[in-house]
Structures are given as structure tokens and as C-alpha cells.
Chains A and B, each alone.
Chain A
Amino acid sequence: MAEVTQLIHQYLRHNKKFPLVFCPGCGHGIVLGSLVRSVHALGLSKDEVVVVAGIGCSGRIAAYVDFNTVHATHGRALTIATGIKMANPGLTVIAVMGDGDAFSIGGNHLIHAARRNIGVTALVLNNFIYGMTGGQCSSTTPEGAYSHTSPMGQLEAAFDIVELTRAAGASGVARGTVFHVKALDGLIAAALSQPGFNLVEALTPCFTQYGRGNGFKSAVDMFKWLKDKAVPLEAYEKLEDKAGRIPIGVFVKRDAPGLETRYAAMRQRLLEKRGGAA
């Protein structure tokens, strides 16, 4: 297995400060490794890949990987990714966002990116909380959960990222966890190779801000929780008691051309029309 770590080192910027900035037990590093393995598995060169990241803990991922990287403003990773993809459709554009970045502040951008079906892969690192800013509740904080801005328990219902993106019209929607990392590798690789807007939600535990307030004794406890609660979609559908269980796997997979492909086709059509008329 030595190749696993060696491979990641090929894609890291070693002039950055290491170890990673993430807290001990944070799953973001695992997602970073998963992203690198997926890109490598598809045989893409570093110059063909653009990673756009927003603000938040997940935004640090863009600093560590040796692809073309953009660190965008809060919630705007997808807008910048959309621009990059439209300007140069040959690139593989990945928008790395946290749950607050993607669904609270950038929620509008996300549903419209999904509606347009722009050929960007959104990698949403869902840790159920605003980790970097100090543990405020986000739109994915489960109902009843403790956070610094919901000390008596979150009153609001949480977004189901998968259902929302499915309804908005994305080409592909998948959910994985950092515990099931090999499955996550496959989900990200599949999302990268499919045209249109693809979203992969990666459940990653935030022990520092979320776990401590919600009855988890350690980061390891949160990984055990993911191991116990996450079930593959096929098995989940057969479950009688679905309470508290999290389905993982591919939820939506449809073959639809991305916006950049449709744009190029329209441009070609109009050029031919003009050429014919002239």
C-alpha cells in the first residue's frame, strides 16, 4: 500500500506548511487524498485540473494540491468554476466547498449550477457545522444538534444535500463518507468522468466544533458513528428502521450534456447559419 502515500506526495505542494492545517481527526485530509487518487486514476495531468475552493476549512485543500488552484470568496467557488469551465471547456474543474459554503452562503449558486448542468464537479465536504468560524450552526446541522449558536439544540430542519441537488437537476449526485474511503474514491472518479454537473457529498467529521458538543468522546468515535450509520443505498432501501441511518452511494446518474457542450453546439449552429446566409 505504500503507493497510496507516495502518490499523494506527488500531488502536494511541498513548499506549504505541513502537517495539514486541519485539526487532529478531521476528515478533510482523507477527502484530499481521495481527490488526488481519483484524479490520478483518471490519468489527468496536473495542468488539466482546476481546483476552486471557497472559504472554510475545506478551502485550505486548494492550497495543498499542485493543480491549477483558485481560492474564491465565501460561497462563490461555483461561480468562478462556472466561468473557468465556460472559458476553457477542456479543463476538469472541481469546486471544493464546505456545507456552509455550498448550501448556505453559496446555496443560490449551487442550485443554479445544477439547473444549468454546467460541467463542474462539486465536492461538498459536509461536517454539519461552520468549523473554521467557531462552530455556528449551518444549514446542514441536524435538528436538535448542539452548536455554539444553537446551544439548546438546533430548531431548524437540515438540508438534505442529495435531495436538493437532485431536484435542481444535476447530472450526477452521490454521497460518501471518509470512513468508506475506497468507495469515496470511486464516487469522485465517476463524478469527474461524467459530463454535466456532478455533486459528491463527503461526510467528514468535525470533532473540534461539532463532535465535542454532541456526545462524541473523540474523533475516533465520530468515525465509528459513520461506520455504524452509513449504509449503501441498496441496503438502505430494504431497511425497516431507517431512523438515523445515512444512505451512501450514487443517487442520480443521468446522461445529459453540460452547459459548455450545449453552448459550443449553439455557437457552431449559429456560425453555420450566418455562413450560409452570407
Chain B
Amino acid sequence: MSASSKGQNRVVVYPDWCKGCGICVAFCPKHVLAPGPDGKAVVVDEDACVNCGFCEPHCPDFAIVVAPRNGNGVNGRPNGKSPATDATHGKEDCP
């Protein structure tokens, strides 16, 4: 996955539908999510999200939505040409 989408994504967990199974927390490659006080997933490091596409289809309860912050939906997925992130990236490696 291109590194360029780092810092561009908004991650939302709906607590009403989350059952706290921990799948997203355990497998998130960038540790964006962590268990909250009630065991349900909470977003702790949204800027680290690279929109790898793991958590959304693997959430058994459809409780996670990851969307680009620029609101372009599907077209906002990493294109490797974003000046905003190129400036801050350089040394960071993303899968």
C-alpha cells in the first residue's frame, strides 16, 4: 500500500455496533486502534492510519469506517502524489 495516504484518513468506530472482539486492535499494522475502557475499540492514533484495508472488511459487526479526510471517497485513496504528505513523509516506511 502506498505510503502517501498516511495522515489523510479518518477512522470512525461506532460504539453501538462494536462488540469489543479485538480483531481490529490485534491486526492493525499501525496500531491506530486500542481497546477502550469497556473493551470496545477506540481510535488512538488516527494520523498513523495508512488505509491498508484490513479493519473494515474484517470487522464482523460493520462498526468501522475508514474514509479519506478530503472527502473524495473512493477516489481519495492513495495515489502517491499528495504534496501534503510528501512533505512530512520521507523517512517513514509503510507497508
Contacts and interface: CB of A to CB of B under 8 A. Distances in A.
A33 B62 contact: yes
Interface string A218-258: 11100110000000000000000000000000000000000
Contact of A220 (B22, B59, B67): B22
Nearest to A8: B62
A182 B61 contact: no
Contacts of B56: 1-2, 4-5
A181 interface: yes
Interface in A1-35: 1-6, 8-9, 12, 18-20, 22-30, 33-34
B57 A20 contact: no
A33 B67 contact: no
B4 interface: no
A49 B64 CA distance: 27
Interface in B19-76: 19-23, 25-27, 51, 53, 56-68, 73-74
Contacts of B57: 1, 4, 30, 33-34, 37, 181-182, 185
B60 A26 contact: yes
B67 A2 contact: yes
A22 B60 contact: yes
Contacts of A27: 60
A29 B61 contact: yes
Contacts of B59: 5, 29-30
A130 B68 CA distance: 41
A1 B60 contact: no
B21 A25 contact: yes
A5 B73 contact: no
25 contacts: A1-B57, A2-B56, A2-B65, A3-B73, A8-B62, A9-B62, A19-B17, A19-B19, A19-B61, A24-B19, A24-B20, A26-B21, A26-B60, A29-B59, A30-B57, A34-B57, A37-B57, A178-B60, A179-B58, A185-B57, A219-B22, A220-B22, A220-B25, A220-B27, A223-B23
Interface of B: 16-23, 25-27, 51, 53, 56-68, 73-74, 77
Given A19-B17, A29-B59, 10 more contacts: A1-B66, A3-B74, A5-B59, A18-B16, A19-B16, A30-B60, A33-B62, A179-B58, A219-B22, A220-B25
Q: For the complex of A and B, list the 10 residue pairs with the smallest distance between their C-beta atoms, beginning with the closest.
A: A29-B60, A2-B67, A25-B21, A24-B19, A24-B21, A4-B56, A220-B26, A19-B17, A1-B56, A1-B66
